[in-house]
Structure 1
């Protein structure tokens, strides 16, 4: 390798025109790639990070950006489908002004109206989630629609597959949509029994042909199950033994939701949009059934690269700015942009009870370093930072004051806010907020606080954290 490099240098010195060609080619590469990146009109920090990183990788940088760089997806025809499936909006009241403001913002950015739930249950960890999910699936009479980022062919995945197969044989319409990267371990032979029983299956963003730009960096991170248009599940828990504490001591610690009521119909709309996008088939929707509005006000929040408004990001920031007493945030990935960081530190500087709960060690060391690079600023502003362990915290939840809660699949980072297809639920309900408070309070009690005077060796912590912070816009 060294001899070849020296030979190339000698050749360039012997023929000066080769050096001119190399420089001209490199400059043309920089200009072309730079114009392409700048025209994406992303956040300046992210744009600069891409430009600096790829300038150091002549030609190879083009391939990296082509595969992993920002991409926009246009699904206007699917948004029009949403309008046809809208549910009646929940009436606003005089004392509900803050909720109405958040609802208007959510509806303007997602094109989904406010709705209600008749029952909301918080499911802590995989054991409770899988038991409730399997019970609902086994009682299905008409349809089961399932979308997951990770679906593993292990004990947990096999149990759910077998339950879906049994219902499909009984005449229930079963549709399963899986992300092609997150569920890459799954093979078609594992799903053959479901297809043979009459179920339908599709991949979301499978790898494309070599001459077409791949969607490798744009993943379906949603977890949605809708049973008979009336019971729905969503949250942070995938289908894998790694999230069942009954099977593994190191299982992820996570939070999921079981819902009943009109909200299930809107989650059905979200599934249908993804299904028709992935398959080209008509959305599996029926006209909404007449029902009595529930007592729990909620809003379905969706975001992804098909929307430039970053709805889940905006609603997090707006909810934090609306806080009057406290802001509690739990997330496995904390890599905020300027807007989110400003909201959190402003709340703390204003004297609110602001607490951040993150894993002691994320499943990516780079993300761990990037997360910790924000600790000094947070601590200085008055934010209480807690690190949860030894199990990996996978909960994604925001609690504001005593009535507002956001729970779902979205992490508090650039990827979830901009690149992944995510779904979260915004609740304006004292009961849901109290349930979430109990969960977070128990987790915070098990998570030691990060101290401002903590020991931070230069080579093992301070320098890696600083370097990771530079790359945070790309994470």
Structure 2
């Protein structure tokens, strides 16, 4: 299933509280083709931040496009996560560096000593010890692509062929992503630069209406509060989709609060998961959610990897799952869509996903048992 990008022009004004254009994607083939085409035309800068960067046929296309941009004297920088990209990240980083691309690895796994010269903070023995003891569980889960400070993309797809359609040689994973343009994309660049270490500017408070991020403990808490407020204060509907669903107690309270006020709460989750235990963990919450009045849909056609919240007429699309890992540990970034056309596209996509799902009930689907409840012991790390 795919949705055509929906765009709506906005008046161009520096650092306004809206994007100039907003496009919503559910077609990963079109999404990646759009990004690669813009990289090929880049004149000043390309910034990429991604959890997984694989050396497969999609990854090779990105590698060649990034090296070609650097050969044109474009400033090209890449951040990839040390755990998410553990298989091919080091070899990709070395090839990109040889091609003139600047590369950093976020929290290399401590036993990968040879990768620490690529870390955002290379440090020495004690830095690596700190990563092993206190930071190994903190990952950069953001997926962010920026070209020339005027075009940005964010969402759930990583640079791996798993997200491509079967016709394009992938596994047909189902994702949500956005493309935004305008002067306000500079704020996304500030976010990237802050992690990279180039700048430590305090973001303009009025730009918070464009995207939510969690680069610091303070910004993480603010983002979490805003997510919970969107749910608990919704007036008509809360439709959410999460590839890995393991809500905190506060989120369960927010959902219950919304249901008690008669809000239409619908939750779309995968019928199966690429993480073996996660489906069983998610199931342990279904009866409780259903008792509140929420409806749970299990998406059937393929691996559901998207993350989106539609609260009333506000759509939020990005990398945040509704689980403990996203809310407590990982760096995330989510884009707020404001245009009626883009929000309508999100609504249509979710309705289509529900039509391709089975609605969970105790009589349909996996029922929670002792095994499911035992898995909750590990939910803090998942």
The whole-number CA distance in structure 2 between the counterparts of 1:298 and 1:429 is 13
Kindly indicate whether the alpha-carbon contact (under 8 Å) linking 1:263 and 1:298 is maintained by their aligned counterparts in 2. Answer: no
For the aligned residue pairs, the C-alpha RMSD in angstroms reads 2.4
Q: CA deviation at 1:365?
A: 3.0
- Structure 2 unaligned segments of length 5 or more: list them: 1-12, 111-123
Match of 2:36 among 130, 134, 137: 134
Tell me the equivalent position of 1:247.
Answer: 168
**Higher CA-based Rg:** 1
Match of 1:151 among 50, 53, 71: 53
Alignment of 1:313-328 (within 5 A): 313-328=224-239
The alignment partner of 2:86 has SS state of: coil
Tell me the equivalent position of 1:82.
Answer: none
The whole-number CA distance in structure 1 between the counterparts of 2:58 and 2:190 is 27
CA distances 1:159-185 after superposition (whole Å, capped 9, x unpaired): 011011111111111111111111112
- Structure 1 unaligned segments of length 5 or more: list them: 1-86, 91-114, 277-281, 289-295
Alignment of 1:254-293 (within 5 A): 254-276=175-197, 282-283=198-199
Q: CA deviation at 1:225?
A: 1.1
Tell me the equivalent position of 2:347.
Answer: 437
Tell me the equivalent position of 1:213.
Answer: 130
The whole-number CA distance in structure 1 between the counterparts of 2:18 and 2:32 is 24
What stretches of structure 1 move > 6 A for 4+ residues in a row?
A: none
Kindly indicate whether the alpha-carbon contact (under 8 Å) linking 1:117 and 1:298 is maintained by their aligned counterparts in 2. Answer: no
Q: Is the counterpart of residue 422 in structure 1 residue 319 in structure 2?
A: no
Alignment of 1:183-202 (within 5 A): 183-186=85-88, 188-202=90-104
Alignment of 1:54-453 (within 5 A): 90=16, 115-186=17-88, 188-208=90-110, 212-214=129-131, 215-245=135-165, 246-248=167-169, 250-276=171-197, 282-283=198-199, 298-304=209-215, 306-307=217-218, 309-401=220-312, 403-453=313-363
Kindly indicate whether the alpha-carbon contact (under 8 Å) linking 2:22 and 2:337 is maintained by their aligned counterparts in 1. Answer: no
Tell me the equivalent position of 1:466.
Answer: 373
- The TM-score with structure 2 as length reference comes to 0.84
The whole-number CA distance in structure 2 between the counterparts of 1:382 and 1:342 is 13
The whole-number CA distance in structure 1 between the counterparts of 2:42 and 2:366 is 54
Closer, same or farther: CA 298–262 of 1 in aligned 2, 3 Å: farther
The whole-number CA distance in structure 2 between the counterparts of 1:455 and 1:127 is 31
Tell me the equivalent position of 2:118.
Answer: none
Bigger helix fraction: 1
Closer, same or farther: CA 284–376 of 1 in aligned 2, 3 Å: closer
Q: CA deviation at 1:429?
A: 3.6
Kindly indicate whether the alpha-carbon contact (under 8 Å) linking 2:161 and 2:170 is maintained by their aligned counterparts in 1. Answer: no
The alignment partner of 1:195 has SS state of: helix
- The TM-score with structure 1 as length reference comes to 0.69
The whole-number CA distance in structure 2 between the counterparts of 1:405 and 1:456 is 30
Kindly indicate whether the alpha-carbon contact (under 8 Å) linking 2:81 and 2:105 is maintained by their aligned counterparts in 1. Answer: yes
